[in-house]
Structure 1
């Protein structure tokens, strides 16, 4: 993967410029500013390394990045919406930088696209892992009586201009999955999403009420013209759905989020 070394060097060269453009500094929040700059710097470095490093190493490093920064984000009191918004811009800037290098260095387009599909899935998985880690920490903070502002619609993560991911999480207080339908529909309309991946990998069990709410959400979004994909269905969840005669046969199902993202990007 020698050709991709130049991509890594170029991203490192323009990294500070990208971060300066992406991070909206606030004079009264120096700690937040420093955290965001370090978080995005690590994200860009990992992203560029993904072109040449081994798949196993990059997957582990992105997971570590996600968990570590979720903890730090909670400590800084940063909202998930703010981080994801700026992280999305950082992601866009990364791909602009890599595409420029491909043209300038005359790198094989086929070779670049083949590797870029994998790199793209790693970036999206990393962002998704961060979202889930943040959500879990948020729930734990709630149990400890500490309030953090987070809406379910904040968890809709854009992966392309027209597609997003919604990871459903369990409310530790009620042991139910919170599905505020109106809020989610407003977010989807606002973002003009045409496709939404609903990820259930964080749900081990599901009850009849939640299945019905999930079915209602899928039906409502479908009426809006949104194509739905389900991912990460656990064995116990699948059995519950079958018992309730809800197999979502008219919805595309992928075993993992990675597969669904690859399906969209291809």
Structure 2
């Protein structure tokens, strides 16, 4: 069965319903306050504000609560936008920033030690990498509340948690695909990689239900531009050497 994804310019009632649903969903594991060291907390307090994006809050007619919106500032406004969800230690988002120097690159990560590590890398490269930022926010919330329709050129999701014991916690689920379909520009990309064969089968089955909106493009080999991230390295060390790569394009002739 194909899911009906609302058309661009959907009405306020549909948008509000999605936001209410997103408010009750999480795409990450809970963390303890003890997860961060004193040095990491210092980085988050002192440096993170300089390497994130502003989240503007505005009222929308018909909405029960204010809507948030990302603001990059005047210099970066109007550029193509790439979003990496689950940036880990930041290796891939930094490579994206180098590869797409004319685009804005936003890494989404909720794990505080990882955000601190990313911020330190951004600080060390601040002189020549000005197009990349990190945002500590749940991906479900960010896409539902902070992204304008048809404003994202590519979404990158590499090695998401497969939640083997709780499939309903997986990031890639029907509702999230609906959100991405609305956020992406026509012709925009959804790039995914996983080392989990069961999750890979689930991803292909899930996206096949949206085949009137997304077209799969075969990926025959690992992209050479992408560095081995912390998560991919862990998979390789543990013997999971088969990596499943996916690329989906939001159809320009998508049916509504």
The two structures have a TM-score, normalised by structure 2, of: 0.35
Q: Which has the higher contact order (CA 8 A, sep 6+)?
A: 2
> Max radius of gyration: which structure?
1
Is the helix fraction higher in 1 or 2? 1
